[in-house]
Amino acid sequence: MEKKNIDWSNLGFGYVQTDKRYVSTYKDGAWDDGVLTEDATITMSECACVLQYAQTIFEGIKAYTTADGRIVTFRPDLNAERFANSAARMEMPVFPKDRFVDSIKQVVKANEAYVPPYGTGATLYIRPYMFGINPVIGVKPATEFQYRVFTTPVGPYFKGGAKPITIRVSDFDRAAPHGTGHIKAGLNYAMSLHAIVDAHNKGFDENMYLDPQTRTKVEETGGANFLFVTKDNKVVTPKSPSILPSVTRRSLMYVAQKYLGLEVEEREVLFDEVKDFAECGLCGTAAVISPVGKIYDHGKEICFPSGMEKMGPTITKLRETLTGIQMGTIEAPEGWIVEV
Ligand code: PLP
Ligand code: COI
């Protein structure tokens, strides 16, 4: 199979249309068999529930080319599980978990020519999503849905790749107490659009959101969870009912403990403690683990000792171990790597 003529090493995090995508429709209480199609467009009613009331959820996964040339994905069962939880919270039908994993494999296989070669630093980003498609005007859930999966080859989420970024403490919230912060609903990202534009306009790469109830505890950013490293090399991550349970974060905490022998803590993290940490990183499928060099808080700056030039030592080790597992150069825990 011949790869597409793409400058893999210089890809950013953007959309490149690939050849095939998967579509399955839910109608009269059941999912159809699903097909691969070349049509990258969607036609729907002007009154579709997704357009009027934002009934949409999604996932993000990557496919990797391993050092020995296999194409693999990373823990898709966890994305299937989270997608099912998102659907239930949004009054949408669950797409069966085995079919979710199978649809991902089908789409990656059909777009094999777009899976970046090993060593380029790029990956194939996979976007499963589901939305309410029939007309709805009174506020209520749809009764007809589409589940779709498309792929796009991507490079680093933040410009500069693994170079430390600067974030600011946001005055806007991305989630509400008892709201939908813990699921992957499009509405959470709609909430964050003004905040990210405002952050970028002011020269920051991302927003740090605090807990919406008390504004004293660290939650997450618009698209990633936080990991902190203490001065005595413990790995700490915030626990909160309104953050997304990141697959990457859960995997990195396991790697920290079982591969690197570090102490780990998942607990509430007060914003007041942040100035005492040695390293800070953002973790997610798109972000992998991106180092944070500086946090701006209303005129004050928190500068991590790891600086603005390179990642700190523990985040470097975490990143190397996780990407080694994903690219097949380090042995993976049972079930983490799923061949396409
Ligand atoms: N938090 C938010 C708000 C996200 O959008 C994402 C991205 O998926 C994450 C965290 C990281 O989750 P994961 O590691 O499962 O990609
Ligand atoms: C991911 O990491 O897969 C995400 O969904 C983050 C996204 C906002 C790009």
Nearest listed ligand to the Cα of residue 127: 2
Read off the pLDDT of residues 306-322 as tens digits, 9 standing for 90 and up.
899 999 999 999 999 99
Token reading at 30: 């059941």
In angstroms, what is the span from residue 198 Cα to ligand 1's centroid? Answer: 21
* Segment 227-236 mean pLDDT: 97
Confidence of residue 160 (pLDDT cuts 50, 70, 90): confident
60 lines ligand 2 (CB under 6 A): yes
| Catalytic residue flag (residue 202) | no
CA angle 258, 262, 267 (to 5 degrees): 100
Confidence of residue 161 (pLDDT cuts 50, 70, 90): confident
Confidence of residue 159 (pLDDT cuts 50, 70, 90): confident
Q: What pLDDT is attached to residue 162?
A: 84
Q: What pLDDT is attached to residue 149?
A: 98
Arithmetic mean of pLDDT over the chain: 97
* Segment 117-145 mean pLDDT: 97
Q: How many other C-beta atoms are found inside a 10 Å radius of the C-beta of residue 340?
A: 18
In angstroms, what is the span from residue 246 Cα to ligand 2's centroid? Answer: 10
223 lines ligand 1 (CB under 6 A): yes
Q: How many other C-beta atoms are found inside a 10 Å radius of the C-beta of residue 96?
A: 15
d(CA 77, CA 10): 30
Of 62, 105, 184, 217, catalytic: 184
Query: Atom 6, ligand 2: which residue's CA is nearest?
Result: 223
Read off the pLDDT of residues 252-268 as tens digits, 9 standing for 90 and up.
999 999 999 999 999 99
1 or 135, which is more confident? 135
282: closest CA among 211, 223, 195?
223
Query: Atom 11, ligand 1: which residue's CA is nearest?
Result: 284
Read off the pLDDT of residues 69-103 as tens digits, 9 standing for 90 and up.
999 999 999 999 999 999 999 999 999 999 999 99
Q: What pLDDT is attached to residue 176?
A: 96
